[in-house]
Amino acid sequence: MTTNEFTLLFRRRFSMAHRLIAGDSVKCAVPHGHNETVSVKLEAADPAPLDGAANMVESFARAKATWHRWIDGHVDHALQLSHRDPLIGYFREHEPEKLPMLLITPGDPTTEALAACMMAKANALFAAETSPLRCVEVEIEETPTNTVIFRGVPEHHLDAGYLGLPGAPWWLRGDMSINDL
């Protein structure tokens, strides 16, 4: 029996803003930002011995290209909001051109919710590219003293029907989306 003996780890830093409206934290209810670092741990979906030639699970360039493009081009400087946040209505009415810059989570955009969404998105991106890799862990450092590590099945923690829309939510699609608006 072959086991995963190689793990690829990629880190990316991004800036973001969010607000949490469901809890009791007055500080977090006001839009505010963080410079975060996300780390993804990747393993072969179907582990095999090295081939004696290229000797790699997947080239680093190919493994991280789409993931980094998604983080850099869509997640970086996005405003993370709950699907219930009234600010979405403001953007729809007054600044619709900025809707693609809103990262929408089912419920508050906590670091936990973001980690689960990011794992699901990474796996959707890899599947769309027929990559041999799968994401097995996401670590998000929100601040130097607060980090969330997620290992598990994202779908067990995310409400896929949060907007009542047909089809898969953004985190399950192998495209560059960050919302379903």
pLDDT tier for residue 140 given thresholds of 50, 70 and 90: very high
pLDDT score of 54: 84
Q: Which one has a higher pLDDT value, 99 or 167?
A: 99
* Sign, CA torsion 155/144/73/107: positive
pLDDT at 55 over 80: yes
Q: Which one has a higher pLDDT value, 50 or 34?
A: 34
pLDDT score of 1: 43
Average pLDDT of the segment spanning 8-21: 97
Q: Where are the alpha helices (DSSP H) in 95-165?
A: 111-128
Least confident range from 48-52, 91-95, 151-155: namely 48-52
pLDDT score of 3: 60
| Cβ-based neighbour number of residue 150 at 10 Å | 22
Mind listing the pLDDT tens digit for each residue in 79-106? 999 999 999 999 999 999 999 999 999 9
Three-state secondary-structure class, residue 133: strand
Q: Which residues contact 14 (CB under 8 A, 6 or more apart)?
A: 35, 36, 37, 38, 71, 72, 75, 76, 77
E strands present in 6-98: 8-18, 32-44, 78-82
* Sign, CA torsion 134/136/140/158: positive
Q: Which residue in 155, 69, 147 sits closest to 119, CA to CA?
A: 155
pLDDT score of 53: 84
pLDDT tier for residue 4 given thresholds of 50, 70 and 90: low
Contact assessment for residue 11 and residue 139, using Cβ atoms and an 8 Å cutoff: no
